[in-house]
Structure 1
Amino acid sequence: MFLTGTFHEGTDGGGKTAGISRRGVAGSAVLAGAALLLAGGATPARARQRSRAATGVALRLPGPTGPYRTGVTTLYLVDRSRPDPLTPSIPERELMVTVFYPAREVHGRSVAPQMSAIAAGRFPETAPAVHPGLPPSGVDWAATMTRSYADAPALAGQRPVLLYSPGGGDPRTMGTGLAEELASHGYAVVTVDHPGDAGVVEFPGTTDHRPEPWRETAFRGDPRMDPPLFRTMIDTRVADTRFVLDALKALAARRNPDAAGRPLPEGLGRALDPRRVGAYGHSAGGTTAAELMYEDRRVRAAVDMEGYLDHPAEGPGRVGELYPVARHGVDRPLLLLGTDGFPDRRRLERSWSAMLAHPGGRTDRRQLDRAAHGVFTDYAAFVPQLRSARLLTAEDRVRLVGAVDPAVSVPWVRHHVRSFFARHLPTR
């Protein structure tokens, strides 16, 4: 990624199209998309009016399509082996992750909100800085609910583990819809916040070096415009995700990695298979997922949703150094997903073409047309709802997610990510 506006996120795969007109995808995607959006998409007009009269428009996530009900929990992880790279005054690297998983039963459990109260309260300040055009008011971000039940017991059986890294400046919660979709089809999905990078991250308490129970981004501009900062950003993310994999291994061994010692959902450790791991990410998170697979052989397959695979250029007229994954290639499957609306197509194309040029055929790419960079996140469903509520302009809608209907874009992204992992990390 990199952020849009204050931080600029991009939007494309470039090259040959394998988009919504592909036989067997378009028709089923439209039908499935229409069904899931009717079930869990835009708020009906009356409810919208009631919500706006209270605290703002309430947005709804598309519902998952798999056969499993899903549970959700959060983990507070602390890597005491390294100081925080983005805020050196913090002596230990703190992380927050969310785990979505198939639930055994949900009786007596509450459906979890998409965002915590603090994160939702601060979101109107941070999100428009990342994505200009998002409304600074008029939305009740705390009202959006997931379809997952808080701390529900996990369904028996070891599940492949999928790690998700969000785009720069975005919270992990903006990948909720896709994470729930994958969990409803039998995966354990772990979404990772990168503090100091994400707009705001809420923790379960305070520390001597962090007097508030949250942390805001340390960025004050587009990291892609600052090559040393961008290098630190991606290096930090890769180290974060490798540490999360270590924590999940401990969890699978029946140890509790939560630094606050909070109780875990029943059976969660037994539901994870640390030998079958995939990674996916959006923008800077896509860069992270691809490079993580190169650096850590525990990752057996990865999806890069419109993330550069090179460093930014050090000066005018120069080209950026390729990341090792693009320079040397990998011997495991990598899927590149892009759109036709990415404004920095030429630079993205250079690193993706280098990745695709490696022999062995382990990298593939697909492109969604009439789409823009945010279409790989929950904004694909949210932005059209905001436009219907007249909280953003038609131009901002197109710039953020494109003109594509969410009844097409949401199933398209879900189809390609889920079918890729079904091939390379089947749930058995």
Structure 2
Amino acid sequence: MFRAIPRSWLARPLRYAAVLLLALGLAVPAAAAPPKRFDLPPTTGPYQVASFTLHLIDRSRTDRFVGGAREYMVTVTYPVARNAHGPRAPWLEPVLVPEWSATLQGYGFVPGAVDWGSARRPALRNAPLLRHPRGWPVVLFSPGLQFFRELYSAMTDDLASHGYVVASMTHTHEAFYAAFPGGRVVRGQDLVETVESTQMWLDTRVGDARYLLDALALSDRGFYPGADPGRLPAGWRGGLDLSRIGFFGHSYGGTTAAETMFFDRRVDAGLDFDGRLSTTYGPPQDLPYGPTRAARFGLDRPFLLIGAQGHTHLDSFDPSWPQFWSNQRGWKRDVHLPLGAHFTFSDFPAILPQLGDAVPADFAAGTYGTLPEAEAVAGTRAYARAFFDLHLKGRPTRLFETGSPAYPNFQPVR
């Protein structure tokens, strides 16, 4: 499923997902008994959070992967009262646990060494929405190419705890796997890179995001937008402020955020965690460099770039960031993590330290670099929150100009 790569995500889009193979030649750890267990870290905001899932079917689009109407899954996370109670949401749906376990066995994890199925998020299930006089601003999230929304739950749950409704997507048929109601699992297709196919993947993601905005608008009027029988959490109607919408993503999800902003003016601010703003990259691919429209023409609304391993708008290995920077007309900032790696912006820094010797040697460094794990988790959360607080809530910050001693490895790029 993952393929060996010489330079991780820096060379080609499929290699975004294959960054895990930086952990080649891993020593196989001894199996632990009982299996290691973990939970995602607590949220840091003033609000407790809850979440529910939506199965969306967009019948206005033909799914260009398989034909028929386009369907995909969304997790919506939102603020609830501090005295809300109920079961916590799982990190992975039970039907995805065997898929994920099998994936990681290919990288040195001993079968049964980790109890992936017991992990819980801070979010409760389906608790009533906490009402806000103005309504909560909405932020979309899109994962890396072929990855899935669950792998970023520590970040999305935390943002919701600071007063946002966060809607995270898994892009079906591109993603390695997605769980649907009734226990159905849809596995991803083998992706072959061509100029046409890579553009189709991005177009599909943009369509998913735009339809999700339509679905959220419908829900704010009190109508359940899911394809299966269901109901919205109590208090949902009129609880969103759709005049304040953000979009962030990791890797190809950051590409998706920028390109969605180009086509859809409903999105007011966007953040890209380490994603190129191009569909094809030029050498070493046998494909021409293909910048996105956002890179070619820029945006007139705020956009933040956060990169790792030398990925900034000043470096030449990714021409899309300098091109975007020169064309960007709205607010823009660039933050760099020299000690980070491509998956610093995922749940790996939150999860792996809890697993001890069940983690194969060098796996952690291959996924999130040598950045201290606590700083990786806290800094990623803080920069996402500060960005959306600034541009969706009007809360001033100097973080993007001066950095913070609390996160010394998050360095503003001049």
TM range (shorter): 0.7 to 0.9
1:68 and 2:68 aligned: no
Q: Distance in 2 between matches of 1:118 and 1:163?
A: 25
Which residue number in structure 1 is paired with residue 379 of structure 2?
412
| 1:286 aligned residue (222, 230, 254) | 254
The alpha carbon displacement at 1:139 in A equals 1.8
Q: 1:95 to 1:9 in 2, by over 3 A?
A: farther
What RMSD in Å do the two structures reach over aligned CA positions?
2.9
Q: Distance in 2 between matches of 1:165 and 1:141?
A: 22
Q: Which moved more, 1:140-149 or 1:226-235?
A: 226-235
| 2:210 aligned residue (234, 242, 247) | 242
TM-score by length of 1: 0.80
| 1:391 aligned residue (356, 359, 367) | 359
2:300–2:328 Cα contact (<8 Å) kept: no
Q: 1:160 to 1:127 in 2, by over 3 A?
A: farther
The alpha carbon displacement at 1:383 in A equals 3.0
Q: 1:362 to 1:235 in 2, by over 3 A?
A: same
Q: 1:232 to 1:355 in 2, by over 3 A?
A: same
Higher relative contact order (Cα pairs below 8 Å, separated by 6+ residues) = 1
Q: Distance in 2 between matches of 1:230 and 1:423?
A: 33
Q: Distance in 2 between matches of 1:3 and 1:254?
A: 42
| 1:81 aligned residue (60, 83, 108) | 60
Which residue number in structure 1 is paired with residue 171 of structure 2?
194
Q: Which moved more, 1:355-364 or 1:175-184?
A: 355-364
1:310–1:351 Cα contact (<8 Å) kept: yes
1:100 and 2:59 aligned: no
> Can you list the C-alpha shifts for 1:88-137, whole angstroms capped at 9, x where unaligned?
2xx111111111100135544111111110012221224567xx566665
> Can you list the C-alpha shifts for 1:315-336, whole angstroms capped at 9, x where unaligned?
7676412111010011000000
> Can you list the C-alpha shifts for 1:288-314, whole angstroms capped at 9, x where unaligned?
011111110000000011111112146
1:400 and 2:400 aligned: no
Letter in 2 for 1:340: Q
> Can you list the C-alpha shifts for 1:48-77, whole angstroms capped at 9, x where unaligned?
x9x9434x3212212111010111111111
Q: Secondary structure at the match of 1:420?
A: helix
Q: 1:359 to 1:218 in 2, by over 3 A?
A: closer
1:127–1:170 Cα contact (<8 Å) kept: no
Letter in 2 for 1:219: D
TM-score by length of 2: 0.83
Q: Distance in 1 between matches of 2:245 and 2:6?
A: 30
Letter in 2 for 1:146: R
Q: Secondary structure at the match of 2:9?
A: coil
Which residue number in structure 2 is paired with residue 164 of structure 1?
141
Q: Distance in 1 between matches of 2:301 and 2:110?
A: 41
Which residue number in structure 2 is paired with residue 10 of structure 1?
9
Segments of structure 1 that go 5 or more residues without pairing to the other structure are 13-48, 206-211
Equivalent positions of 1:7-406 (< 5 A) are 10=9, 52-54=32-34, 56-88=35-67, 91-104=68-81, 107-126=84-103, 132=107, 137-157=112-132, 158-205=135-182, 213-219=184-190, 225-313=193-281, 319-340=288-309, 349-358=318-327, 360=329, 362-386=331-355, 388-394=356-362, 396-406=363-373
Letter in 2 for 1:336: L
Q: 1:230 to 1:346 in 2, by over 3 A?
A: farther
Letter in 2 for 1:10: W
Q: Which moved more, 1:105-114 or 1:313-322?
A: 313-322
1:11–1:341 Cα contact (<8 Å) kept: no
TM superposition outliers: structure 1 runs of 4+ over 6 Å: none
Aligned residues: 373
Letter in 2 for 1:155: L
Q: Secondary structure at the match of 2:51?
A: strand
2:47–2:162 Cα contact (<8 Å) kept: yes
Q: Distance in 2 between matches of 1:317 and 1:140?
A: 42
Q: Secondary structure at the match of 1:398?
A: helix
Q: Secondary structure at the match of 1:280?
A: strand
Identity %: 33
1:10–1:306 Cα contact (<8 Å) kept: no
1:87–1:218 Cα contact (<8 Å) kept: no
